[in-house]
Amino acid sequence: MRHRRSDKLRFIGQWLRNPRQTAAVAPSSPELASAMLGELPANARRVVELGGGTGAITRALVDGGISGEALLVLELNEELHAHLRRRFPDEVLVLGDAVELPRLASEAGFLDAGPADAVISGLGLLAMDRELVTNILRSAFACLRPDGRFIQFTYGPVSPVHESVLDALGLRMRRGAFVLRNVPPATVYVYERATDN
């Protein structure tokens, strides 16, 4: 309990310093982490997490058996990245921008074993312009197997990825769980390549 309280304070501090870079005001709840992991493909073994934050979803992934070299966690914020490295010394922790994911994942050696089964994202896509969202999704899908999934949560009432972006990238969207027990409440969305691609 003390650990979760300290994570909340760390997260709030980072949000106050840079609200555009830190998408949330509090770490993801265990219920949200569970909903996100519930959308992983049944045979998922290798996952990329975008925006590791204080490690709430990272912890759920590790506890669920996706760990070590099978988990790459990308974080843009230097302080949160350093925190994650201390908490998860056995996982592949990378400091950098999600737009650069293919290069960063390659340099870290993560893609040597092949593409990821899923990308889990805590990035604040709603606060980004369409071009940036398009570039992030393009980069994520460049690291995914053909039937891989991009799993995103959002605090907004609609999908954080506009239909025009889905069309441009040949993707389809499915709404997942609504998680009331999160601050603020969140909705999970799943994006996959359209079957006719």
| Arithmetic mean of pLDDT, 75-104 | 98
CATH classification number, 2-193, choose in 3.40.190.290, 3.40.50.150, 3.40.309.10, 1.10.10.10: 3.40.50.150
> Which residue do the tokens 């982490």 mark?
33
Q: Give me 121's structure tokens.
A: 């994202």
Please say whether the beta carbons of 44 and 66 come within 8 A. Answer: yes
Q: What is the pLDDT of residues 5-38, one digit of tens each?
A: 555 444 445 444 454 444 555 789 999 999 999 9
| Arithmetic mean of pLDDT, 93-102 | 98
Please say whether the beta carbons of 171 and 193 come within 8 A. Answer: yes
The conformation of residue 132, written as its DSSP 8-state character, comes to H
- Strand pairing category for 47-50 and 116-121: parallel
Q: What is the pLDDT of residues 107-149, one digit of tens each?
A: 999 999 999 999 999 999 999 999 999 999 999 999 999 999 9
Please say whether the beta carbons of 84 and 42 come within 8 A. Answer: no
Give the pLDDT band (50/70/90) at residue 4: low
Q: Which amino acid is at 24?
A: A
Per-residue burial over 185-194, b = 16 or more CB atoms within 10 Å of its CB, e = otherwise:
ebbbbbbbbe
| Arithmetic mean of pLDDT, 74-91 | 97
Please say whether the beta carbons of 141 and 172 come within 8 A. Answer: no
| Arithmetic mean of pLDDT, 72-92 | 97
Can you give the residue ranges of every domain in the chain?
A: 2-193
Q: Give me 108's structure tokens.
A: 């870290």
Q: Give me 83's structure tokens.
A: 């925190």
Q: What is the pLDDT of residues 153-196, one digit of tens each?
A: 999 889 999 999 999 999 999 999 999 999 999 999 999 999 75
| Arithmetic mean of pLDDT, 66-89 | 97
Residue 197: its pLDDT value, please?
47
Please say whether the beta carbons of 53 and 147 come within 8 A. Answer: no
Q: What is the pLDDT of residues 50-62, one digit of tens each?
A: 999 999 999 999 9
Q: What is the pTM of this model?
A: 0.87
> If you count them, how many residues does the chain have?
197
